[in-house]
Amino acid sequence: MFKKILVLAIGLFSISLSAQKFEISGKLIDKESKAPLEAATVFAESVRDSTLVTYTITDKDGAYKLIGRTSLEAVNVYVSFVGYVPYEQRVSLKGDRMIRLDPIELEFQVEALSDVLVKARRAPVTIKKDTLEFNAESFKTKKDATVEDLLKELPGVEVDAEGNITVNGKPVNKILVNGKSFFGGDDPTIATRNLTKEMISKIQVSDTKSDSDAFTGETSSGENKTINITIDEDKNKGVFGRVSGGGGTDERFEYAGLVNYFDNDLQISALGGGNNINSPGFSFGEIEKMFGGARSASISSTGAFSINGRSFGFGSGIVNSRTGGLNFADSWGKSSEISADYFYSGSNNYEETQGERTNILPDNRYFTESYSKTEGNTDRHQANMKFTTKPDSTWFIDVLPSFSYTKAENNFKRNSRTYDEDGDLTNQSESDNQTFRDGQTFGGNFNINKKWNNGSSLSLRVNGNLENNDSESYIVTSAETFGDDDQLIDRNQFTDGKQENNTINSTLRYRLPIVKEKFFLNSEMGYGNDSRDDKQYVYDLNDASGTFDDFNLEQSTDFENVNEFYRPEFGLDFNTEKVNIGVDVGYVYRELTSSDNLRDFNFSQDFDALEYDFNFSYRINQKMSIYSSVSRRNDAPGVRQLSPYVDISDPLNTIQGNPDLKPSNETNFYINFNNYDFQKRSGLYAYVSFTKTDDQVVSRSEVDDNFVRSTTYDNVDGAYNGYGSFSYSKDIELDTLSSLRVGFGLYGNVQRSLNYNNNEIYDRDSRLIGPTLNLTYKLGDFLELRPGYNMRFNTVEFDTDAFDDYEFTRHEFRLRTTTNWPKNLEWQNDLTYFNNPNVGQAFQQSTVLWNSTLTYSILDNKGNISLKAFDLLDQNTNTQRQSELNYVEDVQSTVLRKYFMLGFSYKFNTLGKKGVIEDRNFFF
């Protein structure tokens, strides 16, 4: 074994020494006008096998520099620019490797654009007007790479451990495959960890737009990105999928299966899975986390998970989840598309939580110890459909109906004890709540758009939901206060609940061009109606009959609440190739009404408010851009916050609304800057956001001598929240085999909140700063090291001497390693150190979480045997410190503990002419 390692090391070192640095520079100009050509792709390939050596993008002056390392004596230099004849030149690297080429004159291509792209050699990167396109074959990955592996190699693209993607600092919120949604399109891992690189032709990145906006030609903010994965036509027919299963110590298990059938536009998929290791019942692309990767589980105890509004796991603690589903998508003719899916998800969860809270009053403190236990079971069925059609080039219609049914059972037990500063017990409570729920929701969206040749358009957009929920709850509570006025309140009650929520929102928008394709006048009318009927009939236990037949009017409710508004809006848009400016001004007419049918009480409130949006974006060049916006939004108080009804369901905290509340107004300023330099392989992204709130609605509590609260609501001025971030990344090619990616960032937050406590109003100023550092070192396909560190330092100050200022810090260090050696064996490790030095002494302050996985490929890389170890050091905890306006709390809850699991998976693929696609790392 030692000899093999020595031979491998010597071989790698020899290859590294043979590679020498070179630089080829020059300038591109238009042959006719002699103007420089910005955003053209210049790349060098091996003469012998056309392997990509390096590439770059021309700047605003048409200049370029090809910098790289190679042992080759000559390379072919290619120039590719949409609309121009491709250019090719062989360049010798013998002798002087600092080469300056004569200006290259590109000739405009006469043929149609499609012909140009067919004849041109595929460039590694192509920049179009609003799309960044990467050629999959141009980027080196291991032979069994997934799309996620490919994305990690693309310039300016970052993929975190959970599979979330950013492009030049901006998050990707939609994934398409050949222009169609793949399982909803909102969870990137569904596609990125299921599709392999060998299937892929191109990766296209563009600004995210709704289907309607894309049809009418409206610009987007550019703050979110869409990735379209294109599959070659000859690889887009067949069946592919995976099945996997495993069992381990402590009765841990998991199983999953996914099968897909593609026939060009037709996509049919079926899935199923389950586990009790706090992963979703089936997480599509996240089987890698579930099953085999060192990233197998999060330190958080939560098991909740959702994709495109579909829930896959409920509750927290230890979750046993199960999932099944079907998905269908196809094109009808040339103008219509349809997709539909059905999903079932279910879970059983168990969690225990203990907490220690310090409650802060102007003149003293009191302390609460609590313990709770939750056990629950949830089953959910969901069906969704999407139909789009274009009757002709001027019409676009889409319809998206949905339906869900949920059945849930939950048992919640809690006890708490409160002490004063002398350690004397002031109150205590116990509760046992068992609840059964059934709910149905039917909803949908309808959009119809018409456009005319002059650029004008008319759009009607309607969405709504009809929701019904029935519940039955059995509640046993006991609350006792001590002191001069001792009191004991025992309750044994049954609550029969029924909620009906009907919501509709609609917008009619007309867009008129003042200057064709540049200057537009927008007019819009919005209407919304949110109607909620909430019945909670409470019955006390009749000791004589042994049944719940004593109606409790004081605690029962029968509310009918309506929130209705009209919102006219006018705006202007100005768009050029570099500048986009938008101004919109709207006025909200809102009416809130509420009636209590049990008490014959009614009230109504009218609210009017001005709202506006201003946004500005400037593309400095193909590498740099700035975006900023200013907006004002109005938020009406909730009906329960306005209603004078007194809620006594919690004997230790009675709540009453305030009919005199005013609506809140939020003014937000936002600006960001991003720059990715393809020549230097470096990127910078920064943003700042600041929000000021007038008439913010806050709770106003009075606490008596036994620390029993009476709460209402009030308006306050002066609250604000500001945050910002700076991040920088740099790719460094150390030699032909090894590379280093460096990334560092800084996050900051300043926040002022105001609160009443026993009629005293005070300011709470919070400041947070958090630096991060991440490194990725790669040595061919043999080794990958990914160390990282982040810290959060938080200070909290009050404007009164009655409160003590405090601070707390959190450190996290992570090291991930992947080794692919010897052949067919992959070893992954994920080592994370957490440190919370400020939590209470009763809680664990430091944790080291070590997960490790060995995967061995068999059956010609179609099968994998894995051995996974989770939390090898048996230190996993879920401890956190929470800071709010008037308390600080340390909480620790149930988490998954150490286990070992042996698993097997098998994959199959008949897509395209190549048949089975190898994938040593089976995990989705």
pLDDT tens sequence across 749-774: 999 998 887 778 888 899 999 999 99
DSSP assignment letter at 101: P
Residue 380 scores a pLDDT above 70:
yes
pLDDT of residue 839: 66
Residue 177 scores a pLDDT above 80:
yes
**Range in 20-29, 412-421, 631-640, 698-707 with the lowest mean pLDDT:** 698-707
pLDDT of residue 521: 96
Cβ-contact 622, 39 below 8 angstroms = yes
Compute CA distances 191 → 185, 313, 327, 526, whole Å: 8, 20, 14, 36
Two tokens at 577? 């190739």
Which neighbouring-strand residues pair with 575?
580
User: Residue 56 falls within a domain, yes or no?
Assistant: yes
**CA–CA gap between residue 550 and residue 539 (Å, rounded):** 5
User: Residue 394 falls within a domain, yes or no?
Assistant: no
What count of other Cβ atoms lies within 10 Å of the Cβ of residue 22? 21
Q: CATH number for the domain including 43?
A: 2.60.40.10
Average pLDDT over residues 573-585: 93
Confidence of residue 361 (pLDDT cuts 50, 70, 90): confident
DSSP, collapsed to helix, strand or coil, labels residue 697 as: strand
pLDDT of residue 197: 84
Which neighbouring-strand residues pair with 668?
631, 691
Average pLDDT over residues 112-131: 65
**CA–CA gap between residue 479 and residue 462 (Å, rounded):** 48
> Domain tally for the chain?
1
For Cα atoms 802, 791, 687, give the angle at the middle one, nearest 5 degrees.
Answer: 90
pLDDT of residue 920: 31
pLDDT of residue 887: 77
Confidence of residue 111 (pLDDT cuts 50, 70, 90): low
- The rounded Cα 653 to chain-centroid distance in angstroms is 35
User: Residue 418 falls within a domain, yes or no?
Assistant: no
What count of other Cβ atoms lies within 10 Å of the Cβ of residue 908? 15
**Range in 128-132, 389-393, 725-729 with the lowest mean pLDDT:** 128-132
pLDDT of residue 913: 46
Residue range(s) defining the domain that contains residue 37: 1-110
pLDDT of residue 287: 34
Amino acid at 553: L
Two tokens at 903? 């698993």
Compute CA distances 738 → 12, 485, 604, 648, whole Å: 10, 75, 69, 66
Two tokens at 444? 């949908």
- Encode pLDDT of 592-635 as tens digits: 888 888 887 788 888 899 999 999 999 888 788 999 999 999 88
Q: Percentage of the chain surpassing pLDDT 90?
A: 45
User: Residue 25 falls within a domain, yes or no?
Assistant: yes
- Among residues 847, 835, 819, 849, the alpha carbon closest in space to that of 296 is found at 849
Confidence of residue 184 (pLDDT cuts 50, 70, 90): low
Which neighbouring-strand residues pair with 520?
513, 573
**CA–CA gap between residue 570 and residue 552 (Å, rounded):** 51
Chain mean pLDDT for the chain: 84
Compute CA distances 780 → 71, 737, 787, 820, 915, whole Å: 16, 5, 18, 10, 26
pLDDT of residue 843: 62
Average pLDDT over residues 439-450: 96
pLDDT of residue 691: 96
Confidence of residue 313 (pLDDT cuts 50, 70, 90): very low
**Range in 23-32, 185-194, 258-267, 450-459 with the lowest mean pLDDT:** 185-194
Residue 2 scores a pLDDT above 70:
no
pLDDT of residue 6: 52
User: Residue 6 falls within a domain, yes or no?
Assistant: yes
- Among residues 557, 578, 690, the alpha carbon closest in space to that of 623 is found at 578
- Encode pLDDT of 861-915 as tens digits: 889 999 999 999 988 777 777 766 677 788 888 888 899 999 999 988 887 644 3
pLDDT of residue 18: 54
Confidence of residue 421 (pLDDT cuts 50, 70, 90): confident
What count of other Cβ atoms lies within 10 Å of the Cβ of residue 446? 15
Confidence of residue 301 (pLDDT cuts 50, 70, 90): very low
DSSP letter string over 745-768?
A: EEEEEEEEEEEEETTEEEEEEEEE
pLDDT of residue 476: 93
User: Residue 71 falls within a domain, yes or no?
Assistant: yes
Residue count of the chain, please give it: 924
Residue 115's φ and ψ, nearest 5 degrees, are: -65, -40
pLDDT of residue 385: 93
Confidence of residue 293 (pLDDT cuts 50, 70, 90): very low
- Encode pLDDT of 38-65 as tens digits: 889 999 998 888 888 888 989 889 999 9
User: Which of the pair, 747 or 761, is modelled with greater confidence?
Assistant: 747
pLDDT of residue 844: 66
| Residue appearing with tokens 């959910």 | 380
Average pLDDT over residues 458-463: 96
Task: Give the burial class of 598: count Cβ atoms within 10 A of its Cβ; 0-12 exposed, 13-18 middle, 19 or more buried.
Answer: middle
pLDDT of residue 280: 55
User: Residue 86 falls within a domain, yes or no?
Assistant: yes
Residue 215 scores a pLDDT above 90:
no
Residue 852 scores a pLDDT above 90:
yes
User: Residue 103 falls within a domain, yes or no?
Assistant: yes
Average pLDDT over residues 630-651: 84
pLDDT of residue 699: 86
User: Which of the pair, 282 or 474, is modelled with greater confidence?
Assistant: 474
**Range in 114-128, 293-307, 793-807 with the lowest mean pLDDT:** 293-307
Residue 660 scores a pLDDT above 60:
yes
pLDDT of residue 307: 35
Confidence of residue 314 (pLDDT cuts 50, 70, 90): very low
**CA atoms lying within 13 Å on the CB side of residue 715:** 16
